[in-house]
Amino acid sequence: MNQARYEFAGAVRCQRGAPPFALTLTGAAAAAAGSMTLTFSGSVPAELPATLSGARVEPAGAGGYRILSGAREWHVSGGSLSATREVAAAFYAALPPRPVPLAKRLLWRLVLALAASRAGLTLLRALRR
């Protein structure tokens, strides 16, 4: 069974939490644009620092995971792993916004120009009633 490997680029924040979420790693994904969050349940080593650089997470035997950063290695035993990737930037880059119709742009330009003066505000209040 081929299990996923996760790689971070740059600094990775390590945050310990209350069970069932024992450890959360947050940072920029190496393979794709955007950020990635990995949440572990299981036993986390006490010597894991608060930040890592260029971390990589690989599955280890017996339901555990290895966290590698530089020449150092930590093991998270037991539990599971949940991965979340931030894809909003890629999504909105692929779907450009719809252009605003000319009539609507002219209406709002007029309303904002009226709102810039005291007389215009009085006129807008009168039209609102």
Q: Is 48 helix (H, G, I), strand (E, B) or coil?
A: coil
**pLDDT digits 0-9 by tens, 13-50:** 998 887 778 889 999 888 777 788 999 888 888 888 88
Task: Examine the pLDDT at 2 and tell me if it is beyond 60.
Answer: no
**pLDDT digits 0-9 by tens, 92-114:** 888 888 899 999 999 999 999 99
What backbone phi and psi angles, to 5 degrees, belong to 37?
A: -125, 125
Q: What is the pTM of this model?
A: 0.65
Task: Examine the pLDDT at 69 and tell me if it is beyond 70.
Answer: yes
**In this structure, which long-range contacts are made by residues 62-65, counting pairs with CB atoms below 8 Å and at least 24 apart in sequence?**
65/40
pLDDT of 121 reads: 94
